[in-house]
Structure 1
Amino acid sequence: MSVEERENFLAGTHIGVLSAADGDAPLLVPIWYGYRPGGDIRISTSSGTRKFELIRTAVSVGFAVQRETMPYRYVSVDGPVVGYEPTDPGEYRAWSIRYLGPDQGERFFAVVRDGLDDWVTFRIRPERWRTFDFGKEFA
């Protein structure tokens, strides 16, 4: 994929898979995320969890998204965690709507909003990119 194609694909609505080192075996978890072309990947998680500690102390993490229908595509990146801050409820509300649609997203957000007080949003800087577009490779 070109730089524009890979960044636009990553900016699409996909469930991401985050990878963080955990001793001899990596932690791999599906996760909602936000990304704007040219920016950092943003993910949120509750503080005090294993996932939080692994991301907070990681030198680098991996992140991948894919299209599971033809033509298959994927974007996989790795890079450093460049910062984190308390999760912005407005941003998380937007993610809820993005992933669940307007009605279900609002209902879900209403349930989780009060629990976001201990959540943190991490920023991951994509440095190494791997991509594949089945439609281009086998057209």
Structure 2
Amino acid sequence: MLPVMSRAERERFLADVHIGVLGVTDARDTAAAPLLAPVWYAYEPGGDVVVQTGRESLKGRLIRAAGRFSLCVQDERPPYRYVSVEGPVTAALDPLDEASRTAIAHRYLPEQEAAAYLKATENQLHEDVTFRMRPQRWRSADFASFAAEFS
């Protein structure tokens, strides 16, 4: 059995800065599996997962069609940890929520780089949509206690 995290631990871990891997059902005839794509995201404990993507992108179209998605984040440094969440879309903000876009850019980039990124990609204000997802199912593992047995 995997060493799972407590609710507080998994929510703190998800709130930390990680690149997320978004998963969404791909019901097209040619699809062999769900669509998986790396994304920037935002999350506050007890809240919704927030992601942004192109309104007409494959990812955006599939999220709208499925009405739900999943997100997995991990720490690749030993001892390994991960949190995976899945749930329904609670809101699709179109046009894009500018304040959320700015906050996510500053979450992932230093101040000057975030400002330059936001300016260089300001077309996203008209082309992207913000999806909010309420985590319903959680999966997690923290191998710290397991790894301690071998130290």
Counterpart for residue 7 of structure 2: 3
Superposition pairs of residues 80-99 of structure 1, within 5 angstroms: 80-85=88-93, 86-99=95-108
TM-score (norm 2): 0.86
Amino-acid identity (%): 46
TM-score (norm 1): 0.93
- Contact 2:79–2:147 (CA<8 Å) still a contact in 1? no
Report the number of matched residues: 139
- Contact 2:18–2:73 (CA<8 Å) still a contact in 1? yes
Is 1:52 aligned to residue 52 of structure 2? no
Is 1:19 aligned to residue 23 of structure 2? yes
Larger radius of gyration: 2
Is 1:109 aligned to residue 113 of structure 2? no
Structure in which a larger fraction of residues adopt helix: 1
After superposing the two structures, state which structure 1 stretch, 63-72 or 81-90, moved more: 81-90
CA RMSD of aligned residues (A): 1.3
Q: State how far apart, in whole Å, the 2-side matches of 1:60 and 1:122 are.
A: 10
Structure 1 residue runs without a partner (length 5+): none
| Helix, strand or coil at the partner of 1:110 | helix
Instruction: Give the superposition deviation at 1:59.
Output: 4.1
